[in-house]
């Protein structure tokens, strides 16, 4: 591969979708047609290559993002297959952080669904150019035009069909290519590996001409030569059209749309052509930006181009425990080269690390390589102190890239090990799982002695407990899921704290005057030094902030984390001999507890965005049940014979809902749910939570 390295031929892409849209099946077909696999993996049969974990194969869902490399038309395509379930959205987030392009798969029946919107927002956040693939065109109720319309209306994206389907539902048999203006009919007898190119069916000729005109009109302005010819009414070549589509796609202005049926082996080759033709190589993207600190302590913007000749820098975006090699760190190389056996500098933690081995990854298989070049993604064996989001670089040319932010977990359960031996192994396993998954947290409750694990949902924690048993051999007793509430202040307050402690030697002295004010939801914790005249030396401020943040982890009402506030240090004093960082940290901790208590604190509960799809005859029962759960219905849409209910509902009211929905709809209802925001809980809920906290 090193001899054939051409950065313009690399495609780093992610495949994303709502659960059950056919994302993993699409990836399996990609591997088959590119020659990376000699059999067609099937989700239902549990024999897919990308969903290689036992839990994935048993449940038929993707849990962790899996990476692989395949080749199509002399291009090297690095693919990351991401989960569709909202509990594992962190996998999508960190994958999009390092990918150059994306393929978003939509179900031709379900269209734009809740997790579709979530992954789309994540892709927008990182300005990832993407294609859309409308899958399952052979299903009853499939409607290509409706899905394209939903992409435009719900996602506010300029969706531009590159194809129109020939037939639909059971009659779907091919597509009309609007660039080449010819029809492709797949031969099902050879698993779609062969197709016929035929003239456009006469009944589709007018529709194809109209769709082609719309496509050219949408992209012409992004290529000056094409625009000039288009305005003048001159003929445009196939290559000119592709160049314009590519320019518009790279600018994130249009979304080329393809269609097919991955399960029936139709349309995947054309999608691969679209990946090569329209998605960016690393060389097409702007240079990556980071910061370096000069000798004066100032942060200066640093730009690194995607070139072998630049100093090395890369981002660690995923950690995985490998049974054969230990900790495996996934790294995207942004500039320079990374060689096996060399020492790199972790600019995030100010530590040197040795890269013992480098590997290319194909799901759970490894191929050892000697070098990773600019633009490539691979695995590093041997890094001991690197975590997700850390920057690795050349020590002589340090730089820190923007890290990743992850949502806080919203569901807790208590664990107890079956034996003392298991107890020791439990914490080792939890530590390793916590390094893998930034949305998974664990702690020991100081009052009860219980181990509390926290995650993004019941399924997320269920998988964690299952992995503890299977991978680490740790047997545990599991408590009932509990909501991870938060606390916040609702009014400004001021406090003054003097921490004075006399000992035989030097004493301890710290004096701070601080105030607090509430922030909007999602405001986090803001710390401000507003002192003047050096009443508190600057070197003590980080200690005060640490005291504030550490104490905010346990609130005054029920012991939940305090969020969304700004604290300001306005005054104070120090002692030349007795003042220390420890003293000011303690003072900051004491002050924040006092401030929160004075700030009229309240309990916040997590509110979820819920979408329920049910046949019309069960709508009334479902709405009545949601009302009893304090849900606020925001919309009810009708699609064929189904109703889609969108609602906002407190997480605390939703445990056991899947089972109840199944009962209400005779097994025909489905639901998806994701975290939306925190909101003040009703008085009776607050009292219940506070009383429960005091009784433990």
**pLDDT for 152:** 95
* DSSP code for 387: -
The pLDDT of residue 135 is above 70: yes
**pLDDT for 56:** 42
Residue with tokens 């994130």: 252
**pLDDT for 414:** 85
**pLDDT for 66:** 63
Per-residue pLDDT, averaged over 399-408, amounts to 83
Stronger pLDDT, 339 or 187, i.e. the higher one = 339
- Round to whole Å and give the CA distance between 302 and 293: 10
Q: Which range (80-84, 398-402, 582-586, 598-602) has the least confidence? A: 80-84
Evaluate whether 114 touches 121 at the Cβ level (below 8 Å). no
Evaluate whether 301 touches 401 at the Cβ level (below 8 Å). no
**pLDDT for 364:** 58
Stronger pLDDT, 643 or 63, i.e. the higher one = 643
This prediction has a pTM of: 0.72
Q: In the structure, what pLDDT confidence band is assigned to residue 489 with cuts at 50, 70 and 90?
A: very high
Q: What is the DSSP string of 247-316?
A: HHHHTTS-EEEEE-BTTTTBSHHHHHHHHHHHSPPGGGSPPEEEEEE-TTS-EEEEEE-SSTTSPPEEEE
- Between CA 89 and CA 95, with CA 93 as vertex, the angle to 5 degrees is 115
Return the bridge partners of 644, or none.
Answer: 613, 637
The pLDDT of residue 3 is above 50: no
Encoded tokens for 290: 């980071």
**pLDDT for 458:** 81
- Round to whole Å and give the CA distance between 406 and 437: 10
Evaluate whether 99 touches 279 at the Cβ level (below 8 Å). no
**pLDDT for 1:** 37
Q: Which range (88-97, 256-265, 517-526, 661-670) has the least confidence? A: 88-97
Encoded tokens for 622: 């479902």
Q: In the structure, what pLDDT confidence band is assigned to residue 59 with cuts at 50, 70 and 90?
A: very low
**pLDDT for 191:** 60
What rounded mean pLDDT belongs to the chain? 86
**pLDDT for 563:** 94
**pLDDT for 63:** 45
The pLDDT of residue 47 is above 70: no
Per-residue pLDDT, averaged over 31-60, amounts to 54
Helix (H, G, I), strand (E, B) or coil at 481: coil
β-pairing, 101-107 vs 10-17, is parallel
The pLDDT of residue 41 is above 80: no
CA 632 vs CA 25, 334, 457, 648: distances in Å: 36, 45, 20, 5
Chain segment 234-266, per-residue pLDDT in tens = 889 999 999 999 999 999 999 999 999 998 889
Per-residue pLDDT, averaged over 393-411, amounts to 86
Stronger pLDDT, 522 or 445, i.e. the higher one = 522
The pLDDT of residue 450 is above 80: no
Please state the three-class secondary structure of 509-547 as a single string: EEEEEEEEEECCCCCCEEEEECCCCCCCCHHHHHHHHHH
**pLDDT for 23:** 84
Q: What's the sign of the alpha-carbon dihedral 37, 43, 46, 49? A: positive
Q: In the structure, what pLDDT confidence band is assigned to residue 54 with cuts at 50, 70 and 90?
A: low
Per-residue pLDDT, averaged over 463-485, amounts to 85
Q: How many CA atoms lie within 13 A of 691 on its CB side?
A: 6
- Round to whole Å and give the CA distance between 658 and 462: 15
Q: In the structure, what pLDDT confidence band is assigned to residue 192 with cuts at 50, 70 and 90?
A: low
Q: Give the CA radius of gyration of the chain.
A: 28
The pLDDT of residue 50 is above 60: no
Residue with tokens 């990182």: 126
The pLDDT of residue 141 is above 60: yes
The pLDDT of residue 179 is above 50: yes
Q: What percentage of the chain exceeds 90 in pLDDT?
A: 49
Q: Which range (474-478, 632-636, 687-691) has the least confidence? A: 474-478
**pLDDT for 317:** 87
Per-residue pLDDT, averaged over 572-580, amounts to 92
430 phi, psi to nearest 5 deg: -65, -40
Q: Which residue stretches of 126-168 are H helix?
A: 144-154
Per-residue pLDDT, averaged over 39-56, amounts to 47
Q: What percentage of the chain exceeds 70 in pLDDT?
A: 90
Stronger pLDDT, 638 or 445, i.e. the higher one = 638
């Amino acid at each position: 591969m090193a001899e054939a390295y051409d950065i313009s031929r690399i495609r780093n892409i992610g495949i994303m979708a709502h659960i059950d849209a056919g994302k993993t099946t699409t990836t399996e077909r990609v591997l088959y047609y590119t020659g990376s696999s000699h059999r067609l993996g099937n989700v239902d049969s549990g024999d897919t290559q990308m969903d290689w974990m036992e839990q994935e194969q048993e449940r038929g869902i993707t849990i962790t993002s899996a990476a692989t490399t395949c080749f199509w038309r002399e291009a090297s395509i690095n693919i990351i297959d991401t989960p569709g379930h909202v509990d594992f959205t962190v996998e999508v987030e960190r994958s999009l952080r390092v990918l150059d392009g994306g393929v978003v798969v939509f179900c031709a029946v379900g269209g734009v669904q809740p997790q579709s919107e979530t992954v789309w927002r994540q892709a927008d956040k990182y300005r990832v150019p993407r294609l859309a693939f409308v899958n399952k065109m052979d299903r009853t109720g499939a409607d290509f035009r409706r899905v394209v319309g939903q992409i435009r209306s719900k996602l506010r994206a300029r969706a531009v069909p590159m194809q129109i389907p020939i037939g639909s539902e059971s009659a779907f048999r091919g597509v009309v290519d609007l660039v080449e203006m010819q029809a492709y009919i797949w031969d099902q007898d050879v698993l779609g590996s062969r197709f016929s190119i035929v003239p456009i069916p006469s009944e589709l000729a007018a529709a194809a001409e109209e769709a082609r005109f719309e496509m050219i009109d949408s992209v012409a302005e992004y290529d000056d030569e094409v625009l000039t010819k288009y305005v003048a009414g001159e003929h445009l070549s196939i290559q000119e059209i592709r160049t314009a589509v590519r320019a518009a796609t790279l600018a994130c202005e249009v979304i080329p749309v393809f269609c097919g049926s991955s399960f029936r082996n139709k349309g995947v080759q054309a999608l691969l052509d679209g990946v090569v033709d329209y998605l960016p190589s690393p060389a097409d993207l702007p240079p990556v930006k980071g910061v370096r600190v000069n000798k004066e302590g100032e942060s200066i913007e640093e730009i690194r181009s995607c070139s072998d000749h630049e100093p090395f820098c890369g981002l660690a975006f995923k950690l995985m425990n490998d049974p054969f090699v230990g900790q495996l760190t996934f790294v995207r190389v942004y500039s320079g080269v990374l060689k096996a056996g060399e020492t790199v500098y972790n600019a995030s933690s100010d530590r040197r690390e040795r890269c013992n081995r480098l590997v290319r990854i194909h799901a759970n298989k490894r191929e050892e390589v000697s070098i990773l070049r600019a633009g490539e993604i691979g695995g590093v064996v041997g890094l001991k102190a690197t975590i997700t989001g850390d920057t690795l670089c050349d020590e002589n040319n340090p730089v820190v890239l923007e890290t990743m932010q992850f949502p806080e977990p919203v569901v807790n359960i208590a664990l107890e090990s079956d034996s003392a031996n298991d107890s020791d192994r439990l914490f080792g396993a939890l530590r390793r799982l916590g390094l893998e998954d930034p949305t998974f947290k664990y702690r020991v409750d100081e009052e009860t002695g219980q181990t509390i694990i926290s995650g993004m949902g019941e399924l997320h924690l269920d998988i964690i407990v299952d992995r503890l048993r299977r991978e680490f051999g740790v047997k545990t007793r599991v408590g009932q899921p509990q909501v991870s509430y938060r606390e916040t202040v609702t009014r400004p307050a001021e406090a003054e704290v003097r921490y004075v402690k006399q000992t035989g030697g030097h004493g301890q002295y710290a004096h701070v005057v601080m105030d607090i004010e509430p922030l909007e939801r999602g405001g986090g914790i803001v710390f401000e030094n507003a002192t003047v005249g050096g009443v508190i030396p600057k070197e003590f401020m980080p200690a005060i902030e640490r005291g504030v943040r550490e104490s905010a982890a346990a609130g005054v009402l029920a012991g939940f984390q305090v969020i969304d506030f700004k604290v300001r240090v306005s005054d104070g004093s120090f002692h030349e001999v007795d003042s220390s960082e420890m003293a000011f940290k303690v003072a900051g901790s004491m002050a924040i507890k006092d401030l929160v208590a004075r700030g009229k604190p309240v309990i916040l509960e997590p509110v979820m965005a819920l979408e329920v799809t049910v046949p019309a005859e069960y709508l009334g029962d479902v709405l009545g049940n949601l009302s009893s759960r304090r849900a606020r219905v925001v919309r009810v849409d009708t699609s064929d014979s189904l109703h889609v209910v969108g609602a906002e509902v407190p997480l605390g009211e939703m445990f056991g809902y899947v089972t109840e929905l199944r009962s209400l709809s005779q097994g025909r209802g489905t639901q998806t749910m994701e975290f939306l925001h925190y909101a003040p809980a009703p008085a009776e809920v607050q009292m219940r939570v506070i009383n429960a906290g005091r009784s433990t």
